[in-house]
Structure 1
Amino acid sequence: MEPSLLRPLIAGMVTAIVGFAGTFTVVLAGLRAVGADSRQAASGLLTVCVAAGVVTVLLSVRHRLPVTMAWSTPGAALLLSTGPVDGGYPAAVGAFLACGLAMMAVGLFPALGRLIALIPRSIASAMLAGILLKLCLAPVSAVAQVPWMALPVIAIWAVLYRYARLWSVPGALAAAVLAVLWTTPSLSVSPAPAVVLTWPAFTGSALVSIALPLFLVTMASQNVPGLAVLSGYGYRPPFTQILLATGAGSATGALLGGHAVNLAAITAALTAGPDADPDPARRWIASTTSGLTMIALGLGAGLATALVLLAPPVLIEAVAGLALFGALASSIAASFGDKAESAAITFVVTASGVSFFGIGSAFWGLLAGVAFHLLTRRHQAGLSAPASSPGETERSGRRI
């Protein structure tokens, strides 16, 4: 093999392996939380892997750009924090479908994208931080409940985070797998995950609790940062076509349990940067390899699901929480700027986990934060309005 071709191929495979190993536990835990059984969860993991891989390959080859796709990790964390909704798992599938169609609508009608952009970034970040907080507390709970398993996992994560940050979460996952296998020597698993079709149902609570916040966190925390990464390396990706492709992939995959596909944000730099290839015009080879590798990894969804089912739930949540610490830190940092009070309200309400009328806390947090922002903005505008001159007051008084 040509040596110059080996570099982007390796970069692409590493990108897919790190992306898969780092957060697949979040996907499985999120799907189980909204009512999926083990076969449906494995089907969902396989589907998002294949959908992300296919969209990556098609866009990379078509545009000769390092456009890398991934599943929505913040979206999976949202599912875990939301839990069951009215209508059960079919209603969650309906929400996945609605989210995919919404992404396509933004691609077709840019005015919708401008409307979403009116939500202050600090409030959107605070909502994400509130969603992630409970999951990021799981490592502490795991130490209290299963210390002999959790402490080695956390120690390995911390050491690798210091010396090889890219491999910190895969290393923690490997430690968790070894701990599970040590306590459960025999592992029975089917050779390939089942593809389970679930007919969607549509309920108001699922659309508001899952579809709307899933759409918002996917756009704000994945698609927009992913676009910024590509732009930062000098590329001009076709954002409209990306939204249409990811929306179509998400909507199609929803029927098989896939929650959302989007632009990769963190791992996008592995294929778009100079480490993939010194020549920017050849980095699409890395993203294409990443897509093909992701499809192959999806075939191992059955094994991944079996390992997750054998492990103590709190240990799986701990690994997922370790994978999301970076996202929590960045979302908190982005929350408290010039709209700190509104962001704080959003964060507190979302993190509370309360549910009203069957609608989860992410929606109420967003609603409370936006409402307080509009209230205080109007009040501040009134305070900053220029005072009337005595002549204007007198004339005004004569008209009354």
Structure 2
Amino acid sequence: MASPLVIVGMSGGVDSSVAAWSLLQQGYEVQGLFMSNWDEDEDGYCTAAQDYQDARSVCESIGIPLHKVSFAGEYRERVFAYFLDEYRAGRTPNPDVLCNREIKFGVCFDYARRLGAEWVATGHYARVTHGDRPRLLKAVDGEKDQSYFLHAMPASALSRTLFPIGDRHKDEIRRIARDLTLPVFDKKDSTGICFIGERPFAEFLSHYLPAQPGDIETPQGEKLGRHQGLMFYTLGQRQGLRIGGKADATEAPWYVARKDLARNVLIAVQGHDHEALLSDSLIASQLTWVAGAPPAQQFECTAKVRYRQPDQPCAVSVRPDGSVEVRFTTPQRAVTPGQYAVFYAGEECLGGGVIESIQRESGTESTSRDKTDLAAY
């Protein structure tokens, strides 16, 4: 009886390389698939060419074939266009979630299935169980867990996906790669958004969206300085404000508290835990539930409002339109519209949605969901 075919998404990194080797040890027939999503590299920041060569070297080393495919067109249409739209609206998007849903476990998953794959695997740090329905679980290595980015995977893909390294720690993965003398055993982990690479973020974004400088003010309207464009800042940010000392203020650092899109003004406050940076609840929309539906109309769980954040106890209420209101036990700092709120019951990821607005203790609502084009200011 032939072994089931698994096609592994090969990034040219150590995690996917060990994932492919691990599946071979389990008796699967394994093939690699290298996917490229970005064609432009006029500045030399993109590492796709080197990553492909690394993936090819690894596949030769462990004795499996490697396919190569480009989804650059689909990526621009389904991920990058959304990315730009959100920044135009003054929000802070997370394209990695969309890339997983639309590309890696969307068009790329379908491509692998057309190649004959019974299973698709990646080097993500997460776990999945296949029983009455697929369940997405956190990785054993809590420092590397990537379930936050995978919560929006289509259930049809999750049911045919394997995460071979989700039950291992990163240091063990490095040790295995070194013992196997894989050519990428000491390769640096990739960071940042794939199409930006290591280039300065503001430099990249300014190629696509016109910067609209404006004033930085206190919540009371006192002018503090100038910003380079609202799209370059996120809530809770400290670096890059260039606010000098004020005679009537303390020496505490300044942080971004809010964006006033109507006036193109950045609101800043002093102190890491200033009340203007805290919120008690949020509204999230565009919900994706791993089980296909929420656990109940009202339920308690934990949530993350950013990657690597410790789980925060909360109560979730599903609204008639399918969005949710999330009330936290403890006020949360710098909850950012455009990012994702992802829900957990212990180790199990329940799903998540896009943060639309936040509610502060004072009862005022703050949102960046204003689709006025910044170029009009």
Query: Quick check: which one's strand share is greater?
Result: 2
TM-score, normalised with respect to structure 2: 0.25
Query: Quick check: which one's helix share is greater?
Result: 1
TM-score, normalised with respect to structure 1: 0.24
Instruction: Compare relative contact order (CA 8 Å, sep 6+) and give the higher one, 1 or 2.
Output: 1
